[in-house]
Chains A and B, each alone.
Chain A
């Protein structure tokens, strides 16, 4: 230990009070934290522990402690059901549309909005495209029904007027996925630009100035300054989206599925609801739900690992 450090050490010791004393001093802050902490424990962590029922023959009157353990039996049953492949395919298909079409579209829209020079015009556009985000899925699906029904919906009336046959958009397996992605775009693509626009606003204007003096075209500015400037935000949002994508849009899909399009519309979450809540197979449906959550977690961690490998920051 050098001389100076030795001189400083006692001072440090004096500053560092015992833990309980420091905690007692902040007792009010702990009191403020308490309701929120209790909320997270009761409604987030107890269900995580309750997911143990996926390994039991759970009976509500016996509870987690009294029910019989059955190991992986529910998982074995799920993986051998032909339904499993249908659910996996349907979920992946919609997730792919989400990451492959919806997500890039929000970036493109943000870049386009960013190129608008008139501040007033830009703000008016933003105000308009954010609005649908605040409508509920019931309203969005409801409006779709009104526009697309074969009984007086304006789209089918127009088709009839132009001499085409009416299309059963809402009862068709073929139209289910296009409608889902179209609704997603309509409701949230505008809103999805908000974080990108904030990131774009944070790019240092002097970078553009310097590049312009060097004679760079708008295209090159976009490619060499704008995109690198928002790259880390894109990566982070993509990782977060990957994790939630298998339960994204559950309410939307739940509302759009009917007997005639179930073959392409049924996804893990709707299946959990029908099998668990309507047929009362609690343990089996909890196992399906757990499978879905674990896949989601693996996707986030995997994507984050990959992002870090590629030299990005990742989410942690």
Chain B
């Protein structure tokens, strides 16, 4: 195929623009990572040092919040994934009486909600206020994820399930032996979405938690970086920042982001395959 000059010019522009855009996506974070290893007050890092990291890991408030976040993410992801797949599996049976009504109910929650204040009172009434469960249970199932997963389960050939039924498999056995193993890419994707959602949540924590010892890492992060009022250790924050420069703020960001950066490459290949497309058409 011969390519015209205009076409070549377009390709050149296209590649340049997208390369710049991907650098734009990446450079700010890279800047933060590099500067977290420097103690100099200047904008361009001049020396290598891990002092900022040693400082934040000696600060009990920060390590405590890190433990809370890790715990919440592990337990919460498992819980939300089980809740979602059980319900999605049940809704994937087209002949199930009442199924359409339940799906309609779920879809409606995507369009309308009671809002922050009534939800707060329900969380309070169910006894979750100031408990870590308030960061997991009130957002147990994402309606969007549920519908996609239901569609995914529906696409599994009926013959596979039928043959397992004939072999005397129970519904629960069917779910664990046939359906879930076949849906591993989807499950991995949703595990990532739920884990990131829990790890990153900030507002629910300040809405539902009053006890500072239960704060997850995002709340501490905000105190250190944006408000610069929180103290994360024995030395006051102001003192620490003048001593170590901005590197403390940057180190805190890096540590709070590392867990996501570690799992991202492993799961990236799954959602790149268009797991999400089926979602658009419920």
Interface residues of A (CB under 8 A from B): 19, 22-23, 26, 28-30, 32-33, 35-37, 39-40, 42-51, 53, 60, 109, 112-113, 115-117, 121, 123-132, 134-139, 141-143, 145-147, 152, 154, 157, 186, 190, 194-195, 197-199, 201-202, 212, 217-218, 233, 236-237, 240, 243, 250-251, 254-255, 269, 272-273, 276-277, 282, 285-286, 289-290, 292-293, 296-297, 300, 315-316
| Residue numbers in A under 8 Å from B120 (CB-CB) | 276-277
User: Within the complex, what minimum Cβ distance (angstroms) separates B230 from chain A?
Assistant: 12
Measured CA separation A222–B176 after assembly (Å): 45
Supposing A40-B141, A47-B115, A128-B25 touch, asked if A152 and B43 sit within 8 A by C-beta, the answer is: yes
Contacting A at CB under 8 A, from B241-282, are 245-246, 249-250, 253, 256-257, 260-261, 264-265, 268, 271-272, 274, 276-277, 279-282
Among A36, A40, A51, A128, max chain B CB count under 10 A is at A36
| Residue numbers in B under 8 Å from A237 (CB-CB) | 280
User: Within the complex, what minimum Cβ distance (angstroms) separates A59 from chain B?
Assistant: 11
Supposing A112-B18, A146-B250 touch, asked if A130 and B268 sit within 8 A by C-beta, the answer is: yes
B246 touches A296 (CB 8 A): no
A40 touches B105 (CB 8 A): yes
**CB-CB nearest in chain A for B279:** A195
Supposing A39-B83, A134-B196, A218-B10 touch, asked if A33 and B102 sit within 8 A by C-beta, the answer is: yes
B87 touches A37 (CB 8 A): yes
| Residue numbers in B under 8 Å from A198 (CB-CB) | 274, 276-277
A36 touches B86 (CB 8 A): yes
Supposing A36-B84, A116-B14 touch, asked if A293 and B141 sit within 8 A by C-beta, the answer is: no
User: Within the complex, what minimum Cβ distance (angstroms) separates B83 from chain A?
Assistant: 6
Interface residues of B (CB under 8 A from A): 1, 4, 7, 10-11, 14-15, 17-19, 21-26, 28-29, 31-32, 41, 43, 83-84, 86-87, 89-91, 93, 95-98, 102, 105-107, 109-123, 126, 137-141, 146, 170-172, 175, 196, 199-203, 207, 218, 221-222, 225-226, 245-246, 249-250, 253, 256-257, 260-261, 264-265, 268, 271-272, 274, 276-277, 279-282
- Partner of B203 from the list A112, A128, A250 (CB cut-off 8 Å) is A250
**CB-CB nearest in chain B for A64:** B121
Query: Can you show 29 pairs from A to B with CB atoms below 8 A apart?
Result: A32-B175, A33-B86, A35-B87, A48-B114, A51-B115, A113-B18, A115-B10, A128-B23, A131-B29, A135-B260, A136-B200, A136-B202, A136-B218, A138-B256, A142-B249, A146-B32, A146-B249, A152-B41, A152-B246, A198-B274, A218-B10, A236-B280, A251-B202, A254-B203, A272-B117, A273-B207, A289-B115, A289-B117, A293-B113
A47 touches B83 (CB 8 A): no
Q: Report whether over half of chain B's contact residues are helix, strand or loop; otherwise say mixed.
A: helix
Measured CA separation A293–B105 after assembly (Å): 17
Supposing A47-B118, A201-B274 touch, asked if A195 and B264 sit within 8 A by C-beta, the answer is: no
Supposing A126-B272, A195-B280 touch, asked if A136 and B18 sit within 8 A by C-beta, the answer is: no
A147 touches B31 (CB 8 A): yes
Supposing A30-B90, A115-B14 touch, asked if A125 and B22 sit within 8 A by C-beta, the answer is: yes
| Residue numbers in B under 8 Å from A147 (CB-CB) | 28, 31
- Partner of B17 from the list A26, A112, A124, A290 (CB cut-off 8 Å) is A112
Q: Which 10 A-B pairs have the closest CB atoms?
A: A47-B114, A36-B87, A289-B115, A136-B200, A198-B274, A50-B118, A128-B22, A142-B225, A198-B277, A47-B118
Supposing A28-B172, A152-B246 touch, asked if A39 and B117 sit within 8 A by C-beta, the answer is: no
| Residue numbers in A under 8 Å from B122 (CB-CB) | 42-43, 46-47, 50
Measured CA separation A117–B3 after assembly (Å): 13
User: Within the complex, what minimum Cβ distance (angstroms) separates B120 from chain A?
Assistant: 7
- Partner of A143 from the list B29, B117, B146 (CB cut-off 8 Å) is B29
| Residue numbers in B under 8 Å from A202 (CB-CB) | 274, 277
Measured CA separation A125–B18 after assembly (Å): 7
Measured CA separation A2–B148 after assembly (Å): 44
